[in-house]
């Protein structure tokens, strides 16, 4: 949604839920010489009010997304002001056809304007990768629909704002297809937060990570060669401990049991557990938990059942077993989240937790791994290219290598 600075309304009449006052005002203006028409004028004003009330409450949205805020239609007329060259262009959202989707492929972004001309007022700027709903094409310009918020000052000095769907314009030359949205070298090490020794540092506008890790783009051939050297230490004996209804039981060497019980299915309190396997070298069970809007994988000691580590996603151990990492896309925050632990004598200690700003790793676990060179490898997409046009996950990807730098 875009927002412009101000819209002044003074010495004007306003068609809104109080449109009946329009009829009254006209009646007053003509009272002396048009007294006989007073009932007719009041009737006209009432009809306008009813029509407006029926339109102003259109809050329906298309598709499966969240509903937008109410669309309030306000028309301002100032007796001594001629219409602007590029007036706002409100549209009926429900009855406006989307011809196609286009994406901002100019890395500097694209300005949205109030008309198809370089001299038209600028309402804002769409960043790289933004998906736009195209409703018309006019020469070198593309018309898209967006929710525009406008501030206004009333005749009595009161301030307010109105948000409505409008037709706005962007330069066609700066738009393209989704497959043109890619990760650039400059995107790779941009982060929004990093946690070291339990202390998180947040960067609202992003920060270039210049230590701890080196992140680089590689070609598919290099990625495939490294994948052949990867090792998976998880022994996936999932059938050894089947669930009994909603209960998962794992035997411990001290004679007791680890017990996990599903509950709150299909509710905000949902908890569902499954056994993923075990790690011999760590003497640990791996248990996956799925919750209402999140999931985790926890490793428990097979001797006494104590929690060894809680991971935000499936854990991956380096070839030398000295490091554990998790790498997962956060679809809610649109970040790529990397956890890194140091492993020493069967104990894990956190090293860092980084949230990458411009890219997210693949959802396919088989495309995330450690190479025998001690580097982390993953397929990945730009955050604005992660989802396809139809809402499905993008099957195409680029390839990234992450090296741990000596400290």
List the pLDDT tens digit at each of the 407 positions of the chain: 554 443 333 333 333 333 333 333 333 333 333 333 334 433 434 443 334 333 333 333 333 333 332 233 333 323 333 346 889 999 999 999 999 999 999 999 999 999 999 999 999 999 999 999 999 999 999 999 999 988 877 788 888 888 999 999 999 999 999 989 999 999 999 999 999 988 999 999 999 999 999 999 999 999 999 999 999 999 999 999 999 999 999 999 999 999 999 999 889 999 999 999 999 999 999 999 999 988 999 999 999 999 999 998 999 999 999 999 999 999 889 999 999 999 998 899 999 999 999 999 998 999 999 999 999 999 999 999 998 777 778 888 999 999 999 87
- Separation CA 195–CA 215 (nearest Å): 17
C-beta of residue 351 within 8 angstroms of C-beta of residue 359: no
What stretch of H or E contains 356? Answer: strand 347-356
pLDDT at 269: 92
pLDDT at 188: 97
> pTM of the entire structure?
0.73
- Separation CA 129–CA 108 (nearest Å): 10
Tokens (6 digits) for 19: 């449109």
Residues 6+ apart with CB under 8 A from 392: none
pLDDT at 21: 35
Which residues, in sequence order, are bridge partners of residue 198?
none
- Separation CA 228–CA 231 (nearest Å): 9
Return the SS3 of 113.
Answer: strand
Residue 34 phi/psi, 5-degree rounding, is: -130, 35
Triad 249, 252, 255: Cα angle to 5°: 105
Which residues, in sequence order, are bridge partners of residue 132?
102
- What CA–CA distances, in Å, run from 99 to 137, 144, 327, 400? 10, 10, 37, 35
**Phi-psi map region of 305: left, alpha, beta (phi>0 left; psi -120 to 50 alpha):** left
- Separation CA 149–CA 100 (nearest Å): 24
Tokens (6 digits) for 195: 């946690």
pLDDT at 1: 58
pLDDT at 2: 56
pLDDT at 5: 40
């Amino acid at each position: 949604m875009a927002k412009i600075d101000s819209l002044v309304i003074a010495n004007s009449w306003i068609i809104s839920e109080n449109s009946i006052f329009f009829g009254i005002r006209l009646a007053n203006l003509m009272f002396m010489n048009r007294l006989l028409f007073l009932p007719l004028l009041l009737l006209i004003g009432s009809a306008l009010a009813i029509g407006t009330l029926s339109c102003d409450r259109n809050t329906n949205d298309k598709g499966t997304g969240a509903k937008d805020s109410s669309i309030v239609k306000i028309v301002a007329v100032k007796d001594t002001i001629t219409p602007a060259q590029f007036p706002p262009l409100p549209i009926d959202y429900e009855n406006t056809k989307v011809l196609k989707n286009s994406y901002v492929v100019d890395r500097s972004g694209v300005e949205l304007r109030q008309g198809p001309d370089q001299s038209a007022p600028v309402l804002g700027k769409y960043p790289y990768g933004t998906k736009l709903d195209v409703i018309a094409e006019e020469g070198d310009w593309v018309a898209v629909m967006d929710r525009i918020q406008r501030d206004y000052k009333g005749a009595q000095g009161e301030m307010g704002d109105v948000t409505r769907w409008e037709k706005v314009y962007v330069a066609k030359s700066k738009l393209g297809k989704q497959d043109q949205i890619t990760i650039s070298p400059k995107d790779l090490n941009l982060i929004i937060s990093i946690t070291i020794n339990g202390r998180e540092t947040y960067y609202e506008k992003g920060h270039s990570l210049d230590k701890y890790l080196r992140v680089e783009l590689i070609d598919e051939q290099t990625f495939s060669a490294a994948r052949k050297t990867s090792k998976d230490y998880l022994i996936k004996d999932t059938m050894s401990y089947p669930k009994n209804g909603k209960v998962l039981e794992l035997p411990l060497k001290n004679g007791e049991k680890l017990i996990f019980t599903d509950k709150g299915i299909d509710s905000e309190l949902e908890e569902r557990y499954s056994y993923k396997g075990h790690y011999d070298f760590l003497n640990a069970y791996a248990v996956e938990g799925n919750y209402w809007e999140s999931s985790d994988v926890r490793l428990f000691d097979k001797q006494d059942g104590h929690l060894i580590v809680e991971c935000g996603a499936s854990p991956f151990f380096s070839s030398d077993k000295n490091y554990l990492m998790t790498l997962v896309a956060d679809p809610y925050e649109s970040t790529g989240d990397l956890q890194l632990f140091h492993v020493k004598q069967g104990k894990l200690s956190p090293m860092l937790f980084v949230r990458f700003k411009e890219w997210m790793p693949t959802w396919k676990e088989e495309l995330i791994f450690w190479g025998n060179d001690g580097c982390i490898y993953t397929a990945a997409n730009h955050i604005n290219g992660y989802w396809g046009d139809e809402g499905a996950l993008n099957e195409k990807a680029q390839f990234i290598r992450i090296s741990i730098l000596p400290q």
